[in-house]
Structure formats: structure tokens, C-alpha cells
Structure 1
Amino acid sequence: MTSTVHVVLPGDVDDPATPSGGNYYDRRLCDGLRAHRPVREHPVRGAWPQPAPADRGRLADVLAALPDQATAVVDGLIASAVPDLLQPHSVRLRLITLMHMPLGTPAEGQALRACAAVVTTSEWARTLLSRLYADSSDRIHVAAPGADAAPIATGTAAGSRLLTVAAVTPIKGHDILVDALATLADRQWTLDCAGSLDRDPAYARSLQDRVRAAGLADRIRWHGARTREEIARGYGDADLLVHPTRTETFGMVVTEALARGIPVVASDVGGVPEALGATSDGGVPGLLVPPDDPAALAAALRAWLDDEGLRARLRQAAVSRRPELPGWDVTAARFAEILTLAEASRAHR
């Protein structure tokens, strides 16, 4: 019988008040892995990746209680902060780190060296980690996020309904989007922002002030944290996903939009180009722009709003890309393969 895989997760993995791409990936992974082997989850409460002493104590207890030779997947938000807690178990356990966002810190490098394998979510991240930690490169693998099939969004002929889905923090670039849209006040558009306003409240308030100062308060709507069902309804009403992030390991919101035939305008950073991809005949279902460049983002949005032919081409490419997106079952199967490889490698050491 295939052995149980233990998965060490942030304690808020299922908290609807703290949605994140990493938490959603963890949940879908755990659920999908159960088709391949038994899974036991170990949520650990804490302010990861900046744990308090009590948080570290809870994690230490979880690791100590795992049986000898167990396979344990540790979310990178946790692992990258506590190499000193992982290292004592690096021989007794088969440790695998699931690295959602490479940090490039000394502690992260020490944590990865304690692991039998490292899994990340894009080729971009694998390349970055291999460059940062060359001595671990042969143990770094990719299990890209999946996307669920969904109905094609109805959309509008004018393409005026814009959507962004991300927590309102500086890294996600809402300020760039607001500045870009301020130059397009003479065009017809609305923007719905789905994402927590509580991660950085001062930043969120400053953005809302900027929107009011630009006279756009009736066109830019801030919805705060949304449930998965509410986000799905938001996609259903959208014409275009805008993702002006400053960095991104993959960009699940991109594939979630494409799964509904919605084109994307996004920053050309990290794994976003992988998420956007292209159709089998080479069509690209969106536009990529440099990060931190309001003028470039405004130009892309202006082209989308003004050029009916461009909208038609991007929509057709998005609809064509839709059936080519792998599902979460593919993610889970790939992860199960990596676990088997890591277990075999450790057995022959």
C-alpha cells in the first residue's frame, strides 16, 4: 500500500477571510493527491513567514510527532522561515518543500538543503531557485497549478468591464492600474477590484483616496475579500482581466480568466507568460506589458477599448486556449510523481 503523505500547511489554509493563491493551491493539491495516496493534513497556526516563538513550538511538535521515514510536504511559507527546525529531521523524514514564492534569503537556502525535493509552480521559479541554490538544482521540480473548466463569460461588445483579482497590496500593482486608468477617463470602462483590503490597510486607503482625487470613485469598485463563488460570478461578468502585478510566481488568476474565455492584460513578470501561454496555432490570449509602467499599461488598455478587431482576436485566442488548460488532476498527478521520485532517491542514499 502507498504510504501516507503528511502535508504541513499554514493554519489559515481554509479561512475565507484570508484567501490567497498559495492557500488555494495547497487545498486543491491535498484534495487531488488523495486520488493517488493517503493524505494527512497538519495545519499549523502562526504568523508565517515571521513566526512567534509559540508558532515555532507548534511546528516543532508537529514535526517531532511524524513517524520515522514519513514523507512530509511543508508549505514554503513555513519552511523558508525555520531551517533550524527542519534540519534535525532531514535524515529521519523525507522532507519536500512546496515553494510558492522564492524569497532568495539565506534561511530559505538552508531550508531547501534539508529537503529531499523542492516543488514550485512554474518553470520561471524553478530556474530562479536553481540559480540561487545550484547545489539543490537537481531536486527542484515543477507542478503547475490547474484550472477548472467554467462557462464562457458573456462579456460585452465594447469590452468595458475590467476586473482585477488580487489582495490590495503594493506587490500587486493596483496603484499602477489606477494611474493608467486615470489617463483613460474619456473612455467607457468600469473596474471591479476583488481582493482583501486588510493586508495593508494604509495602502488600500491611499489608493481609494487616489481614486477619489482622480474623479473615478463611481467607476472603480472595491469589493474586498471574496469567496471562490463570488469570484466566479465576477469572472462571469467580466470582459478583461487586468493583472498589473510587480512579481508573480505563476498567476492562477490568469488561467482562471482564460478558463472562461476572458483575455488578459498583465505584467510581463515571473511565471505570468507561462500562465498566459499561447494556443496550439500560436494565438496569444492577451497582452503583456512591463511592470511598474502606467503608460505602457494605459496603452494596452486603450488598444483593447478602442480596437474592435484586437478585442475579437484576443477573445478568440482566449476561447481557444480554454480547453488546452490542464486541470488540477494533472497537478496532483505530477506532484505524486515527484513524491515517488523523492522517496526513491532518499531510499538509495
Structure 2
Amino acid sequence: MTSFHRGRRLRATPEIRTIMRETAPLLVEDLIQPYFVVETEDQSFRKEISSMPGQAQLSLGQLEKQVEKAVDTGLKSVILFAIPAHKDDKASGAYDANGIVQQAVRLLKKRWPKLFVMTDVCLCEYMSHGHCGILSPEGVVRNDATLPLLAKTAVSHAEAGADMVAPSDMMDGRVAAIRQALDENGLTQVPLMSYSVKYASAYYGPFREAAENAPACGDRKSYQMDPGNAREALLEAYADLEEGADALIVKPAGPFADIIRLVRDHVDVPLCAYQVSGEYSMIRAAGLNGWVDEQAVMLESLMGLKRAGADTIITYFTETLLAQKLAR
């Protein structure tokens, strides 16, 4: 009889499947929970995000309550996004020492010194026009004029106590500008995790509601990457590493698992995958409607990101995973 591969030998029981699994199970340390913090005097303010069931805009008071529950179930890392009370064409709230993100950082670090607090460094939430940089009179984002504002923002976050800053704006040269500003202000030990590979993606739709940062004119395609490009991802990753990035982010995650693998195969620094709002919302909606087993699809999607090469994952499912003890 002709011999053939007996693959089922290593799949026969739960025990042998666990022993032979190539990709490690999700760990608590792998997961980063995003939070949307609202600048308001009403500390009871909590607004559910309709396009992201289970997620909410939170006042500082509500943020503290939410994080308290998550820490009790094992939360290790968060990343903060802002919804300021005031917006202008210079994004002045972004680098205000008493801005909403700065307040949130101080609150979280005072209450939970061991909680790893990251901040998203961008200007879009603070700009009256919703773009990630200074606009020219013709409506073009001015790259070099934006860099000092991003640097000031990162420094203000670090001075407030942020453990890591994560620039997401996609301006050329922003990593070098931020690294230099941090170092000049005595913040040499604050690491920088860059959204190096960030695509102009349709998967960001629900985030626009959550962060209230949709552009008032045009789009972000002139500074975020074209989804059809792969080799460009390596150029962006190498550029940010050369400028001083300590870790890199690929965003979105699931539809760009090939990019995660490509970057992982070419760089040795920690690599984070951002499972974005659209990915989360589609899985949640399908689960809520009974079309899929939400827990199973959630776990499979995240395992796929680890298999692709992600060391850590920013995901809105973090609290769910911890509460249900689905991460070790």
C-alpha cells in the first residue's frame, strides 16, 4: 500500500492538539485596550458608541471606573485617544499640559503605577478641520509645519507620565522630530512605538464616530498608505527605525496579515498589530445577530495576528478576553 501523510495523528485529541500547537495562546501581556476619553465637567458622562457595540466615550470619572474593572481581571496595557472640548486650526489642545489625555495619563498612573499607559500622538482629534496636520490655504496638509506640534504633543504626554508614545499621524520625519524633542527634554527613557505602516483604510469607519475626527474636507490618502502597496511598508518601517522608533505598528491588522508577516520577517523590534474599529464592529455585529460564534471568531482572528508575527495586539476585545478569562 502506498504510504501517505497521517496528519490526523496529531489532531486526534484536545491534549495532543494543545501540545502540538505552533502558535502560543493569547497572553494577557499581548493585549492593549484602547479608551476614548472625553473632556467634560460631567464626570458621570458615558456615551455608547453606536457603531462599536460595547465601547463608549468616557469622562475621566467613567474611565477610572472602567479601568478599575479591567485591572481587576488582569488588564496590563492601555492606549488613550482624546475627545477634547475645544478644537482649532493649531490643535492647541493636543499639547496643552492640562489637556484631556494628559489628565487621563496622570489619573491612571497615580491610581495604577504598574499599568502600562500609551498615548496616541496625533492632531486630528484636536483640529477643527479633522486632518492630522496643519492645512495650507489650499487645503493641503503641510508636513514639515506639523512636526513641531507633534513633538510638543509627545513631550506633553511623556511629562504627564505616559510610559510610551505612539505617533499615528503618518507625517514624514515625525519619528525623528519626536525622538529629538523627547531627548532634549530629558525624556530619553520614554520609548516610541510608531504607527509605521498605517493604511488609508475603509476599516476605520466606526473610529470616526468614536473619536469624532472625520476630515471636514478631502481625505487622508495623501499621507496614509495605499492599501495596494506592500513593499512600501518596508520603506516606512525602515525609515522609522532609522529615525529612532523602538517598536512598530501595522494598522489595520486582519486584512493586512500579509504585511504583518512581511514586516516581521525584516525587522527585529517588537511589532504590534492594531485590530481596528471596523474589524471589531463586523465581528461584534455578526455575533450579536447570531450569524457567527462571536467568541470563536474573535479568538481565531487574534490568533491569526499572532501567527502572522505580531508580538502585541491593540484590540477593542481586550476587556472581553480578560473578563471571560480567554487570555492567560
TM-score normalised over the length of structure 1? 0.33
TM-score normalised over the length of structure 2? 0.34
